[in-house]
Amino acid sequence: MKLRALGRSGLQVSPLMLGGNVFGWTADEATSFRILDAFVDAGGNFIDTADVYSRWAPGHEGGESETILGKWFAQSGKRDRVILATKVGMEMGESKKGLSPAYIRQAVDASLARLQTDYIDLYQSHKDDPATPLADTLGAFGELIAAGKVRAIGASNYKADRLRAALEMASTLGVPRYESLQPNYSLVERSDYEETLEPVVQEFGIGVVPYYSLAAGFLTGKYRTKEDVAGKARAGAVGKYANERGFAVVATLEGVAREHDATPAQVALAWLMAQPSITAPIASATSLEQLSDLIKSTSLTLDRASIEKLNEVSSVPVAA
């Protein structure tokens, strides 16, 4: 895989970021290890997780994904082949949330212990914390970088005005800036990123690693009617796309996929990789078969006509 630069951080990352939200949740430890080995052996090096993964699952407390990654690092010896990204800020228990300096210091040490590593390549604010001044948060991240615990920082789920404010403040204060943004962006979720966030990331030259790149599985082609969505485990996540516009996007994806001897998922990811502001879309796999499908997207180059077809069918707002 050809590597891409992440902002000005110096991190050279693969064009596909492997999502770690499934590790310890829908992918058990043994399966997770096989997926991680296969991803790295195929040339991938960019892996995303968060301290909160997978706190939402019954009986989980958070930290499950980081713990599995830590065990894999210890067993495989492949830590130096990975650009590791994790996050802080989501609630991990009583008084364990947000981006205050005290909590960031506490959370990073907990993540490092679970991950069995002494540094994090990309440490991201999982969401904005309006209760904590931006200067305090950025200052705390600066301390972590100075201490060697973190190489670069990023932001996730920030609105454009707050992202701009953080970037400008970093310049004013002379502290490390966010080098990446992790937004919700895909063929069926375009307007918020393209209209408000993309101008900011392009102005400041930061990387972009979108999540829900396959819209919670909707863009894999497994949902073709509203009946396909009803009653499924991800009905809540994909339900808003189950309309005329969403199914038109899927139909176009399938058509382009046939023309390129590819799958809809590969085409959806290749479309993202073709966007000038995108560094690497995030996608998760719970089997080696799924991973193989995702990896093939990195060698798929869409022609201009295919990109224009996808642009046109997906340009209608989500609510249409």
Residues recognised as catalytic: 53
Cα–Cα distance measured from residue 101 to residue 40, given in angstroms and rounded to the nearest whole number: 34
Cα–Cα distance measured from residue 265 to residue 295, given in angstroms and rounded to the nearest whole number: 10
Q: Which of 281, 284, 283, 273 is nearest to 183 (CA)?
A: 281
Residue 117: CB partners within 8 Å, gap ≥ 6? 70, 73, 79, 84
Per the omega criterion (within 30 degrees of 0), is the bond before 54 cis? yes
Decide: 122 and 49 in contact? Cβ < 8 Å.
Answer: no
Two structure tokens written together for 68: 């599995």
3 state SS of 12:
strand
3 state SS of 315:
coil
Cα–Cα distance measured from residue 208 to residue 7, given in angstroms and rounded to the nearest whole number: 8
